[in-house]
Structures are given as structure tokens and as C-alpha cells.
A and B are shown apart, each in its own frame.
Chain A
Amino acid sequence: MEEFTIEQMPVRISVIIPARDEARSIAKVVAEARNISADTEVIVVCNGTSDDTADKAKKAGAKVVSTKKSLGHDVGRAVGACFAQGDVLLFIDGDFVIPASTLLGYIELVDKGWDLVLNAYSGFQVKTNIHSTAVAKRFLNRIIGRPDLEGSSMTTVPHAMSRRALNLIGIKILAVPPKAQVEAVLHGLRITRGPRINTSRFNRKRAGRKEKVMDLVLGDHLEAIAYFISQRGQRAGYTDFNRMRQLLDAHGSSHSRGVYYPYMLEI
């Protein structure tokens, strides 16, 4: 009877967890997500799994969306968002456990009126040694006029957004996170940084995946930059600081300049 009433409660928070062969950790991840509040639904997007991730997620109390094929990075987030009913959407990964109290920090910021709350972690950097994806993230934020976000990115989980934000930027764009971030900025959404979670420490190493993921993330940032340029025009609106470009293709004789050759001195 009690369980029935919980099911009937209107969902306020949707936690979306794409998962692929995460049987080791998924039950704990789902349990922590459910601990956020009673009106939280947990959607696990199980794609291309060969183990019992889906069963374990279901047992832990998640709603499970399964696809036979692997969806590829970040597509699971968009698919999960299609089924989300909450006013607040929180995106996390299935491969590492974040305590409910930390996740709540993201939800609270959305409740305070922020549209998009990013992980404050800026990507791998030790002194002057920066990972190239962190460079891409910082560069993109600077170009779109949000250097204050440093290297915080929708590529990284966790991040939370309001229903309003999702409606404005659209579900499909979530599959290319940096592009979604650009869209959020273009729509003037209120973006801030939440708790800082160093995801590089958790990311499970999988053979031959590292290079592929790095290339994917770099390509995503290029796609995002291309989108930004398409909205802002030539040079994305950045100044040329009075370059006399018209001279570059004109013959020197039309430059109205003085010309002095060294042999002039000898005469």
C-alpha cells in the first residue's frame, strides 16, 4: 500500500543515467539517486549491455529504458530526457557513485532559479599540464562569452537543468553536449557551477577507448564552435581591430605610401 502511494506521487526530479555494462556499480548509483528525495524518478538508459545492468537497475528501483544497440556517447542522455517527467533533470553516469547529498547540491541550485548547473570541475590540469579536452572546454567558454565557467562543461557529469532549459534548447541537442551548452548561452539561460567533482579520478579505463573519446570530445567542441559562428557570423562577432584588409589584395601603387630603397642613400 505504501509503495503504491509513492508511485502515485507527482515526479519532481528526474535523474537520467546512461549505462552500458555497469553491473558493478549501477545498483549503488541508482540507490544514491533515489535518496535525493521521495519525488525523484530514476531513469536508466541501458544500451548495448551484455551483462545484467538492466536487472540490477530495475531491482534498485529505476525505470529502465533498454536498447539492444549501443547508442554512443551522450545519446543516452537525450533518450532518457525523452521519458523524464520531472521539473528538474539531473544527468549522471552509471560508472561511479556520487552521494545523494552532493547530488542534492545541484538540485538546490536549480530550485534557486538557475537553469543549468554544471560540475565545477574544469578538466584535468596539473600546473601547466592541461589535457587537450580541458583546453577545448575552456576555449569554448571563453569564445561564447562565459570565461567565468572556466572548463565546466555539459560534457562532464553531473549537471542539472530546469524543464524550461530543456524546452528551450531541445532534447536532440543533448547528444552533443558542448553544442547544447552554446545553445543555452545563446538563449540567455542562467548558467552556474555546482559542487566540484573530479570525474577524471573515477572514469573507468577501457581498452582503446581513451583516444576515441578524446577525438569525439574535440569534434563536439568544433561542432559547437561551428554552430556558434553560424549564429554570430564572421569571426563570431570578434573585432578585427582596424585591420586595413582592403590593402591586402590591392597593388602597392594604390597604397598611398612612401617607398625608400637602400640605394637611395648612396646617391
Chain B
Amino acid sequence: MIPQQRLFRRTGLQADRRKIAELNRSEEKERTSKKNSASAKGMKQSRVRREVGQIRERHDTGIELVKTSSFICDEDKVLAQNPYNLSVIISVSNEEGTIGELLASVKSLQPKEVIVVENGSTDKTLEICLQHEVTCFSYPYRLGHDVGRAIGAREATGEVFLFLDGDIVFQPQDLLPFVAACYQQVDIALNDVNPFYTKASMIDAVSLAKRFLNRVLRHGSLKYASLTAIPHAMKRRAAEIIGYANLAIPPKAQAMAALAGLTIENVHAVNVFSTNKIRSYNSSNTNVVEDMILGDHVEALQWVQATMGNRCFFADMIRQREMIDHAISQHGSFHEGYEC
């Protein structure tokens, strides 16, 4: 028998999930129908704005199970600050199809600078980047995952860093909340991916790793949110405390930030599941990327354990382990009613 109370809680939770799924579905429908009808640029802009509005509304209704941030996203105020404070850092490799559109979108944020770390591209990516007003570091070889972020951050001069990848085009309205949060009390603003987990099958090994690490760091309410995912933003101060080099191993950076007591929050939900481009290594070498991200989490845990002991916050105060030695010494001399 399941206790009545637990039963209620469980069904309540399911109802919430259902509501979220419904919202997602209706939103998806609207998006596809509008895509077909609206082709003019002006209309596209207004469509995006309404979508963002919907997501915010969802935060307000309190349907979300995760903690949502209390920051205020006043777009005009943020845009007024950006030319003095915002550095956008984009690492890119062979993304001629998306990078132009992304840079155009980023430009409307009016940032102080856009830093592109282009590495190992064999297509027109560099040419396209140079057509825009960007600071571009161009490497003739591949840097490996997330190394571009660390290199870009070290060169950045702004007070808030917004990190993006070259393969997904974001609308400015989806990026502003991350920046806005960092202009306020949030040190690290993460993409709130949690509402998009609608099916059990979406919880893969990487998701488990993210959630486990967050829980271990006593940031369980972040759930699946991670510095591994983009977009995310952080204050310069946060990057300095973490150390620029460590930004190349995002889970480790997150662990360092958490233990340093920085404020990490899920600030805005952008769906990167459906838009994530299938790359050559994503399709043929999925396991390599998965293993790498898992390795990153192991490395993060390794660092946490080196810093605060193997059990981190979870010391074992309950077990009388020495009693086993006592029992082993009694081995073979079992008698009925043995007592120790």
C-alpha cells in the first residue's frame, strides 16, 4: 500500500508535467504554423517576442518544478549597458551555415565586443566572421571541446561574458535574460533546460552526470542545468575566481563556482535539444562525445573530492565500521546467542 499522502504528491507532479508537455506542444504548433505564414523580417521579430513572453508566463504561473530566478529583465536597460560591459564569446568550427545569422543576431545585443574563436575550419567560416565586426582568433587546428571558451574568455574585456556556440542561432530575446541576470545578483546564469525533459528516454548518461554533480554540490534545484550547455553567461569576477583555464572543462568550472559560493541560477529556458545540429562526430562518434562529457564530470568530482574529501558534504556519521573487524576476529567461533 502506498501511503495516501505520497499518492497525492505523485499525481500532482504528473499533472504538472502534463501541463508543461501540453504547453510545449501548443507552442510547437504555433511555431510551425507561424513559420509557414510569416516570411517578412518584421513579422519574424514579433513572433520571437511573443514566444519569449510565453516562456516567461510559464515561469510566472509557477508550473515549473525548478527554482526560477528573481531577477528582472528590463530589455532597454540591459541594451543600454551592453556597449560598456558585454563580451560575447563564440567558439566555432566549420559552421558556415549558421555563423553569419548568429553574428547578425548577436549584433542586435549591442555588445562591447564579440570574440570569435574559430578553430580548424576548412569551409568559409572565417571569411564570414571577418565580414562582421568581431574580434576573431583563428586557429588552423582544432582546439577540442570547450577550449575555445576558455581562450576567448581570457581575451575578453567586458564585465559580463555570454558564451555561445557557432552551431545554433539564438534570437536576441532569448539571450538577453542571461545577460540581465549577470548585471544583477547572479554570478553564473545557466540555461534552464529542465522544462524540456518531457520523456524518460531523454534522461541519458550525460543528463544523469549533470544532475548527480549538481546534487553533490548541494545545488540540486539546478537539476539538469550545466555549464556544458549553452547559452550561459557569467560575470568576469566569476571567471576570475574559477580561473580562465578551467572554463575548458565546464563541469569542473561549475564545481569550483559552487564551492566558491558563487550564485548559480537557471535563468531562462532555451530549447537546445531540437535545434542541436547533428555533427559528423555527433552521429558517428556519439559515444566519444558522451564519454568525454562523462570524463569531464569525473574530473569535476575528482577535484571536489581532492578539495573536501571523498564523501564531500556527505560524511558517514552512522556506521560503526570497526565492528566488522571485531566480527572478523570471531570468525568460525559462531555460537547461538553470540553477543558483542
**Complex CA–CA separation, A66 to B289 (angstroms):** 52
Name the segment of A86-94, A95-103, A131-139, A156-164 touching the other chain: A131-139
Size bin of chain B's contact surface: 35 or more
Which residue of A125, A126, A242 contacts B142 across the interface (Cβ within 8 Å)?
A: A242
Interface assignment of A254: CB less than 8 Å from any CB of chain B:
no
Pairwise interchain contact A243-B145, C-beta atoms closer than 8 A: yes
- Contact A229 B302, CB 8 Å, known A218-B314, A241-B289: yes
Interface assignment of A78: CB less than 8 Å from any CB of chain B:
yes
With a CB–CB cut-off of 8 A, which chain A residues contact B330?
Answer: 82-83
With a CB–CB cut-off of 8 A, which chain A residues contact B299?
Answer: 234-235
Q: Nearest-CB distance from A179 to chain B (Å)? A: 10
Pairwise interchain contact A128-B199, C-beta atoms closer than 8 A: yes
Pairwise interchain contact A245-B340, C-beta atoms closer than 8 A: no
Q: B17 — nearest CB in chain A belongs to which residue?
A: A127
**Complex CA–CA separation, A132 to B221 (angstroms):** 11
Q: A217 — nearest CB in chain B belongs to which residue?
A: B314
Could you say which of A63, A69, A83, A219 has the most chain B C-beta atoms within 10 Å of its C-beta?
Answer: A219
Pairwise interchain contact A245-B147, C-beta atoms closer than 8 A: yes
Q: Nearest-CB distance from B22 to chain A (Å)? A: 14
With a CB–CB cut-off of 8 A, which chain A residues contact B215?
Answer: 132, 135-136, 218
Name the segment of A27-35, A188-196, A259-267 touching the other chain: A259-267
Pairwise interchain contact A215-B314, C-beta atoms closer than 8 A: yes
Name the segment of B37-45, B163-171, B268-276, B305-313 touching the other chain: B305-313
Which residue of B17, B244, B294 contacts A143 across the interface (Cβ within 8 Å)?
A: B294
Interface assignment of B80: CB less than 8 Å from any CB of chain A:
no
Q: A241 — nearest CB in chain B belongs to which residue?
A: B292
With a CB–CB cut-off of 8 A, which chain B residues contact A257?
Answer: 137-140
- Total of A-B residue pairs, C-beta within 8 Å: 232
Q: Nearest-CB distance from A249 to chain B (Å)? A: 6
- Contact A248 B205, CB 8 Å, known A219-B315, A241-B292: no
**Complex CA–CA separation, A132 to B222 (angstroms):** 13
A221-257 residues with Cβ-Cβ distance < 8 A to B are 221-223, 225-226, 229, 234-236, 238-245, 247-249, 252, 255-257
Pairwise interchain contact A175-B305, C-beta atoms closer than 8 A: no
Pairwise interchain contact B327-A219, C-beta atoms closer than 8 A: no
Pairwise interchain contact B319-A73, C-beta atoms closer than 8 A: yes
Could you say which of B142, B145, B310 has the most chain A C-beta atoms within 10 Å of its C-beta?
Answer: B310
- Provide a sorted-by-A list of 17 A–B residue pairs whose CB atoms are within 8 angstroms: A66-B339, A67-B339, A73-B318, A75-B319, A78-B327, A128-B198, A132-B211, A220-B316, A222-B216, A235-B298, A238-B291, A238-B294, A241-B144, A244-B141, A245-B144, A259-B136, A260-B138
A-B contact sample (9 more), CB < 8 A, given A225-B305, A249-B245: A67-B323, A83-B334, A215-B314, A229-B302, A238-B291, A248-B248, A252-B151, A256-B140, A259-B138
Which are the 9 A-B pairs with shortest beta-carbon distances? A238-B295, A219-B314, A243-B144, A72-B319, A248-B245, A258-B138, A72-B318, A226-B310, A219-B311
